[in-house]
Amino acid sequence: MMVLKIKMFKTIWDELSSRFDWLKHHTTWLRAIVGVMYFLLLTVLLSSNIFVSTLHLEVGEPSPQLITAPWTRVIVDQAKYTRDKEAAAKAVPPVYKPDEEYLTLLTKEVGNAFISLREASDNNNISELKKLEPFTSLPESLLTSLIETVPDELDKAEKAGRDIILNKARSLETGARTSEDMPAFRDRTKTDLDQSELNEDFKVFFKGFIDREVTQPTLIVDEATMDVLRAAARTAIKQEELHYKANQKIVGVGDIVDETIYEVLVAYGLINNQNTGKSVAGIAMIVLIGMGSILLYLFQYKRDIFRMTNRLVLIGLTISLVLAIGRAVIALNLGTDFNSLSGMLIPIAWATMTVAILVGVDIAIMVSLVLAVFVSVLVDPALSTSFGLHSGVVALFGGIVGVYSVSRLSQRSDLARAGIFVSAVNVLVISGIALTSDMRLAVWVVGVILGIVNGLASSFLTVGALHWFESGFHITSSVRLLELSDPNRPLLKRLLLEAPGTYHHSILVGNLAEAAAEAVRADATLVRVASMYHDIGKLKRPYFFIENQFTQDNPHDKIAPTLSSLIITSHVKDGLELAKDNKLPVQIQDIIAQHHGDSLVSFFYHKALEEYENVPEETFHYEGPKPQTKEAALVALADNVEAAVRSMKQPTPGRVEGFVRKIIKDKLNDGQLDQCDLTFQDLDRIAMAFVRVLSGIFHSRVEYPEMPSIKENNNHSMHKKLEGEVGQEDDESSQKEKQPESPEGTVESIVSREG
């Protein structure tokens, strides 16, 4: 049974391994899966605060606890203010005006009716008149009376009746405003007709006209005037402000939560009244834009890093970790007065410093911008208070200062200094926020303390996590390189003791390559450290290399040139083995493998040609590959230049510069620089940097003159004195006899012997 379980587990494991191997060979799918995972993780982290509400209250329910104001604030119920303004606008009574368009139509219809009367009167044709409106309902006797009316009377009747109808219709008091007003309007108009001087026939005619033709209200709402009145009504509404002091009661135990209290709780962020689904969707969009911004920047400006999956995973991991820490920090209870400051404790600078050291400064700046937005959303998902903005501003400036603090990392103490810089900037930013938001003194003091803790924690986290990130993602940081440059490292110590010539050669190569790297904007730290290790393969047979031969015997004199070439070229392979055994970074291993390219060991090749004919040249070449990067090319050039210039006789500045340029030109012509991205301008700068360093090494010295001994000086001066004073020979002789000779051991004799 156990055997079956083991076989089943092994089958499952093999299946998973095969699928993982498939993913490793299909990097596009792998990157897509990792991207989706980070998108979901960041969305969950940022939206987690939506689902964690301090209070669960609804309008009309009693409060289960005493709730006080976290800080002093003036709260405006914007929703109520909007409702009040709209209610005031709706309360404005309507203002009417005559419907001139409709009244013009009525005037035209009255005119048409009298035109028909005149035509019927001229033709004496009642039958045709009865077919027209508004005559169809009138009795024939009335129609006969109407058409028999003389023209002047017709004109007067038309004008009088039309004026009565239109005057009543235009009047704001008697006109019909709605359909319900139409019966009253007709009655009032008919009454005026009855009281007019029109004869009875025309009164009947116009009453019928009103009943059949006046079918809609004669007044309409004056929208232009109404808009002015509504605007005035809205303006008249004053905004209601609620002033709360810190710790002031908002609602007590058992008190009913009305709309005003509910809005106050929402304004303080104590209740989340947003639609959860919409909020999560909005946060997901922000996450998508943030991730897309970083990827687009890398694709546009840092294409080499964009292709490195491990770098992308590292960026996503640091962002996720710092937001997870931020979520835990926000959950801390700092007290009622200080909970709003918890976002200022999120160590954003840790993520930005880590990315700056392991990936690049430019990318770290972009990460700082995106993280500042993420922190604002993390602290306040609804973005309804100023807490999120304050935390985002602190995160932004702290993150950027952290990046620049480690941009030129040269020793581990720089990380501690970076933490101090971040703390200082946090204090300044928090102080600025305190001044602009009228923050109380106690809250400002706590904010400053949190800002200092933030900076120091970022530094500690960077130091602690850097090793694990380097190992896990196979990235060599400048801190790791600085550790490898310690002379007490085992390999360097062996090199100093077992191959001292090679050690000092490597140090000089490092000086040359570092100066050249600074001139062409390459990685100077990597170049210097790689130069120190580039010849460690010579530890296997140190005395076969000229710089380690301190006696007159040269072992190459006793062996064949082909064997000598094999020994010389094998130091590259031996160096790679030593580098792998000692777990040196891949970048250094690559430089060890490439620092000779596939160049020719010319000395032993020519020596072989002197002894044999038709010697195959391939036997005397290094295996390669050629330098693939600027850094590898710089080490290769510095290695050749240092060895060649050291062998020069009378290395004057002019000869050194000419020799340096010749070596670089020979390497270029030999194709050793074809696969690295050095330009001709770079090669010129490299040559100038080499010459500048070599001029300091091979400078001319003052030749000190040989100092004559004191005794010789004394004898010489005595001889001159004797020649100049012949007349005083006896006196000199007597004086000389009186003076004893200086015994050995006195100062004069010692100086004479040492000189």
Q: What is the pLDDT of residues 180-225, one digit of tens each?
A: 999 999 999 999 988 988 888 888 888 888 988 888 999 999 999 9
Pairing of strands 241-244, 96-98: unpaired
For residue 295, pLDDT beyond 70: yes
Q: Where are the domains of the chain?
A: 9-49+284-475, 96-221, 480-697, 710-754
**204 vs 495: CA distance, rounded Å:** 132
Q: How do the residues of the chain divide into helix, strand and coil, expressed in percent and rounded to 5?
A: 70, 5, 25
How high is the pLDDT of residue 590?
93
* Residue 600, strand partner residues: 621
Class of domain 480-697: mainly alpha
At residue 219, what are phi and psi to the nearest 5 degrees? -115, 145
Structure tokens belonging to residue 302: 């840092």
Class of domain 9-49+284-475: mainly alpha
For 554-580, give the DSSP string.
Answer: -GGGGS-HHHHHHHHHHHHHHHHHHHH
Measure Cα distances from 32 to 6, 29, 478 in Å.
33, 5, 30
For residue 369, pLDDT beyond 70: yes
Predicted TM-score of the model (pTM): 0.59
Structure tokens belonging to residue 177: 């405003």
Token pair 């600074």 is found at 518
Token pair 């993520």 is found at 351
Residue of 419, 421, 408, 506 lying closest to 459 (CA atoms) = 419
**532 vs 530: CA distance, rounded Å:** 5
How high is the pLDDT of residue 746?
32
Q: What is the pLDDT of residues 696-736, one digit of tens each?
A: 776 555 455 555 554 455 455 544 443 444 333 433 333 33
Lowest mean pLDDT among 321-330, 660-669, 724-733: 724-733
| Opening angle at CA 638, ends 635 and 644, nearest 5 | 140
Structure tokens belonging to residue 63: 């409060």
Q: What is the pLDDT of residues 401-447, one digit of tens each?
A: 999 988 877 666 788 889 999 999 999 999 998 888 777 788 889 88
How high is the pLDDT of residue 25?
52
Residue of 368, 628, 220 lying closest to 360 (CA atoms) = 368
DSSP H helical ranges for 474-554: 478-484, 490-498, 500-520, 524-533
